[in-house]
Amino acid sequence: MVYISYYYIISFSILGYGFFLNKFLNLNFLNFGFLGILGLSLLTSISYITTLFFVHDYYFNTLILIIGILSFLFFYRKKFHSNLIQYLTVFTILIIFILVAKNHDDFSYYHYPYSHFLTQYQHPIGFGHLNNGFRNPSSLFFLNSLFFLPKAGVYLFNIAPVYFLGFSNIILLNLIFDKKNYKFNKFINFISILSFAFINIFFYRLAEHGTDRSGQILIFIIVILIIIILNIKKKTSSFSSVFNLLNLTLILSVLLFSIKPFYLIYLPIILIIFSKRIFIDNFFKIILSKTAIYSTLFIFFILFFNFINSGCLVYPATFTCSENLYWSFPKEVINDVNTWYELWSKAGATPNYIVEDKITYISNFNWLNNWFNNYFFNKVSDLILGLILLNLIFWFYFSYGREKIINAKKIEFKFVYIYLLLCLIEWFFKHPALRYGGYQLFALLSFIPLAYIFYLRKISYNDFYKRSCTIIFIIIVIFLARNIDRIIKENSQYNYNPFVSTRYIYDEKFYNRYVDYVDVNFDKFKKIEILGKNYLITK
């Protein structure tokens, strides 16, 4: 019960910080989904700043939690009652999502150790020497460190993805049932329900999220927001409302980059928005806004922690690295890491084997045949077949036999689609693993044309509403059924029973192996200090 209680309490605290940031930046959003994502952004920023000066222990984290709750109570009004019911419904359904025996494969390797270290010590310089996974830290590790709370301890370090999933679901549900938007541009309603279906059917397991899928979920939201902005007409919206959507998109994009460095490739997509005259005319107002300053500071801390961990602004991009610092890595080491990442994503390395000549393997298309045999079949092929089936179901359910609208208004999404295609090409040539940004690319590139086909069909809102309710009900049943089946299997394999304990299986010796690494190599890391203190000593 402690675990479940904290699950709700933390979500209210996140909303409280979202309310505060929403007010401070004058964004005027009422959607609990947007407020939740804003809260996650602000909490991450707070973690970045405070870890340099404070240990994220029980006392500190409890204070942060209470401040968030008080903020929620201060800003909450009666007009939010319907939002609150929707929020409670979504997060109650998602309880089954957090009941896991086994976490992500990388959890014990570097997710847990990084988060746990921040609850014991202030952040040091040169942390990347302890573990390759520490060299480009995900913002999720900093966020997780704030969930180290009395009675729960380390058992909430895996919980951050549920908040990204939950608040994103709320955003999508509001976009799906937005009647006003349906009248002017039902394209958004359809791409939202397609995205909702994909996220909850394909990303149903917490153990598979790691630090990758939260970012991929954000990409769905960012792309939809950009298409909304591109298609807003001056007659139906004031500049302030469009400006707020731009600010929100910017905050989400920076948060996305903080989760994984390779998501940096998606930041330029926001520049497509500036194809609209209204943003060009107000360029200086935009870059001097509170949101721009906040986002710039956020980016600074992302780069700062990369730099003090590895000597690189964006690890392992060698051109951003310096070799003249005592905690820096030689470029040969960084190049080896680059090679390893590419080798792994091109199926040249698995838990069972590693190719001998790594450089030759990843060069040109030497990897292609092996990748097709060992990765495309059956991972990418299963995803493609699943998307084809999902799209066919939606096609027959919503569009089959519908009359086409002759004089439909033009929808702007061409540049977004082209950019996503370029991202898919880059993905294929450099890191063709689905966890490295493949899932959402295949999904969006198939959803955008299908949503446009729906847009061109005569479908009334009432008809859309009824059919969407049915589809969402089916998606929820599938989500619950797949997670129930997973829990049954975990009970059989790990003797995990959420009715007895909702905590994941914790092997202290296994999870704390980074401590042994420090003890063995202490002389090597003795120089890694900040303000004259050695933060790597463990008793």
**What's the sign of the alpha-carbon dihedral 393, 92, 166, 118?**
negative
Residue 515: the pLDDT is 47
Q: Which residues pair with 404 in a beta bridge?
A: 457
Encode burial over 28-43: b for 16+ CB neighbours within 10 A, e otherwise.
Answer: ebebbbbbbbbbbbbb
Q: What is the DSSP code string of 289-320?
A: SHHHHHHHHHHHHHHHHHHHHHSBSSTT-GGG
pLDDT value for 509: 62
For residue 271, count other CB atoms closer than 10 A to its CB: 11
How would you class 388 by CB atoms within 10 Å of its CB: exposed for 0-12, middle for 13-18, buried for 19 or more? exposed
For the chain, residues with pLDDT lower than 70 are: 234-239, 406, 508-539
Number of Cβ within 10 Å of residue 194's Cβ equals 27
Question: What letter would DSSP give residue 28?
Answer: -
Rounded to a whole number of angstroms, the distance between the first and last alpha carbons of the chain is 32
pTM of the model: 0.93
- Over the stretch 32-47, which tens digit does the pLDDT of each residue have? 999 999 999 999 999 9
Residue 179, Cβ density class (10 Å: 0-12 exposed, 13-18 middle, ≥19 buried): exposed
pLDDT score, position 405 = 78
**In this structure, what token pair is assigned to residue 382?**
């299963």
The whole-number pLDDT of residue 166 equals 98
**Confidence at residue 493, expressed as pLDDT on a 0 to 100 scale:** 92
